Amino acid sequence: MVKMMTSLDLMVDLYAKCERQGPGSKVVTQRALSLLDLDLKNSLNICDIGCGTGAQTLVLAEKTKGKITAVDLFPAFLEELEKRAAASAYADRIKTLEASMEDLPFREESFDLIWSEGAVYNMGFEKGVTAWGKLLKAGGYLAVSEISWLSKDRPNELEGFWKEAYPEIGTVSEKISILENAGYVPLAHFILPTACWTKNYYEPLEARFDAFLERHDYSDEARSLVDSEREEIRLYHKYRDFYSYGFYLAKKRTNPSSYATHPH
């Protein structure tokens, strides 16, 4: 998981050549897409928020006929995404945009589908899904993955770590309730399997630590970034039964007041 408290340049350097910047997989993206009753033959307007280097963007491009705006705060990630898009068959349907997820330059009701894997924590789940809901057309879909507790109780060491790293971490039912309160109909959720964390995310990241440290002359900042990643990985291996990413699929409610206008 990308943390904002360490030097951003180092963070971008460590992550930019990674296939992905958070837990996930191609199968998971496809599965989430399959849980939405979207007509994939239509040209949908899709926004991928916190896209990183675009692991899920390319899957969305392959599996839909949509036009995708891929948004991230860091140009180095977007450059990688553009290279990947150019090497794919979908370059003409993928547009990148450097912007903050907290201040997106779109009109209300612009999108049929808002997608965000492993990124909404940067502004907080509740704030994110509430703000992004305005950008969805009525009846539009939200697909968002978010770190979630898998049980009511958990070990203190683990709770302490995540309360510090991301106080909004919550149970699946808490996340679903936030979606209901934010004007969505929750449609489905599922939990990301272990390999999404280990094989797809932590292992490729760990493989980059030595060269990264060398490149930065073992500076205190570089070492502290690697140490904090190692601690997160250690905790994951020890406690992975207690938390994972949940993938949440929801549909923006159509405005109930429209029913009031029906003549009786």
Task: Write down the least CB distance from residue 41 to ligand SAH, Å.
Answer: 26
Nearer to ligand SAH, 20 or 256 (CB): 20
| Residue 179 C-beta-side C-alpha neighbours within 13 Å | 26
| Residue (32 or 182) nearer to ligand SAH, CB | 32
Contacts 24+ apart (CB under 8 A), 128-133: 128/49, 128/101, 129/178, 129/179, 129/182, 129/184, 129/250, 130/182, 130/183, 131/102, 131/104, 132/49, 132/104, 133/182, 133/183, 133/184, 133/252
Does 117 engage in binding with ligand SAH (CB under 6 A)? yes
Q: CA gyration radius for the chain?
A: 19
Interface with ligand SAH includes 148 (CB under 6 A)? no
**Least distance CB 25 / ligand SAH (angstroms):** 10
- What is d(CA 105, CA 111) in angstroms, rounded to the nearest whole number? 13
| Contact mark string toward ligand SAH, 54..93, x via CB under 6 A | -xx--------------xxxx--x----------------
Q: Would you say 157 or 203 has its CB closer to ligand SAH?
A: 203
Nearest approach, Cβ of residue 76 and ligand SAH (Å): 9
Check binding of 24 to ligand SAH (CB under 6 A).
yes
Q: Which of 122, 148, 200, 244 binds ligand SAH (CB under 6 A)?
A: 122
Of 35 and 253, nearer to ligand SAH (C-beta) is 35
In the bound state with ligand SAH, the residue whose beta carbon lies nearer, of 88 and 100, is 100
Which tokens go with 249? 């699929």
Name the DSSP letter for residue 93: G
By beta-carbon proximity to ligand SAH, the closer residue of 25 and 45 is 25
Give yes or no for a contact between 49 and 56, defined as CB atoms under 8 angstroms apart: no
Q: Within 93-112, which residues bind ligand SAH (CB under 6 A)?
A: 100-102
Tell whether residue 183 is a contact of ligand SAH (CB under 6 A): no
Cβ–Cβ under 8 Å, residues 44 and 64? yes
Nearest C-alpha neighbor of 82 from the set 59, 103, 52, 102 = 52
Supply 146's token pair. Answer: 């978010």
Q: Which residues bind ligand SAH (CB under 6 A)?
A: 2, 20-22, 24, 50-52, 55-56, 71-74, 77, 100-102, 117-119, 122
